Amino acid sequence: MGDKVAIVTGGLQGIGKCCAVRLVKAGYDIAINDIREDADAKDYYKDLEEMGAKVFYMKANVTKEDEAENFIKSAHEALGRIDVLVNNAGITKDNLFIRMSKQDWDSVININLTGAFNITKPAVKIMMKQRFGSIVNMSSVVGVMGNAGQANYSASKAGLIGLTKTLAKELAGRNIRVNAVAPGFIDTAMTEKLDEEKLISIIPMSRKGKPEEIAETVFFLADTASYITGQVINVDGGLVM
């Protein structure tokens, strides 16, 4: 399509899928990874290709350092450069802290936070050689305000905020910007089990957000916001002010 390349982790569904589509619409070729490949994936890739993009997909577990490095290396070889990285891969395993198992703690931290480390490090090496790049980390409002029953998820998303701010300071001199988006309650599979009436009652805009609204903010930070780095943008209908 063009000379811009974006990587989106966890890009087969929900917010990640919307981010990939938005970037392709803006002229990016796209590399996507996920830990699975469902029956609709090939149609999804075909749709992106019909929009004019070169599409690279690799099944890769971001918690495994060797798989993350191989994905970045392979995407770079296939598409030629890396301009944008969207660290979107994430899971929830909710429970009250006193009942939370070590396994559920570890799995959420490993995917949401350590996974971002594993993907970002090899991508940054490429961006530093290019002397250009933009990273957007998918945090959450619960990483800002906390949330009962989500100690593991909140900790992982707060960690991404700290990672964002630190990398922004370390990499600005190489013309690499690093920002984060903190979605509120978004209409995805991750929130469908929650009490919608109760949620809406605490959101000033009185509705859940749409994945496309997160994707627009990701695109703004990744592509347009040339003088913004180290920032966390809440996209939450006014939940956190």
Give Cβ neighbours of residue 116 (< 8 Å, ≥ 6 apart).
9, 62, 87, 89, 137, 160, 163
Lookup: tokens for 145: 């305000």
**Which amino acid is present at 78?**
A
Q: Which of these is catalytic: 28, 45, 153, 227?
A: 153
Q: Give the phi and the psi of residue 150 in degrees, each rounded to 5.
A: -135, 45
Helix 102-109 and helix 151-171, axial crossing angle in degrees, nearest 10: 30
| Crossing angle between the packed helical segments 14-25 and 211-219, to the nearest 10 degrees | 50
Catalytic-residue membership of 44: no
Q: Centre a 10 Å sphere on the Cβ of residue 148 and count the other Cβ atoms it contains.
A: 10
Among the listed residues 17, 4, 12, the one whose alpha carbon sits nearest the alpha carbon of residue 214: 17
Residues with catalytic roles: 153
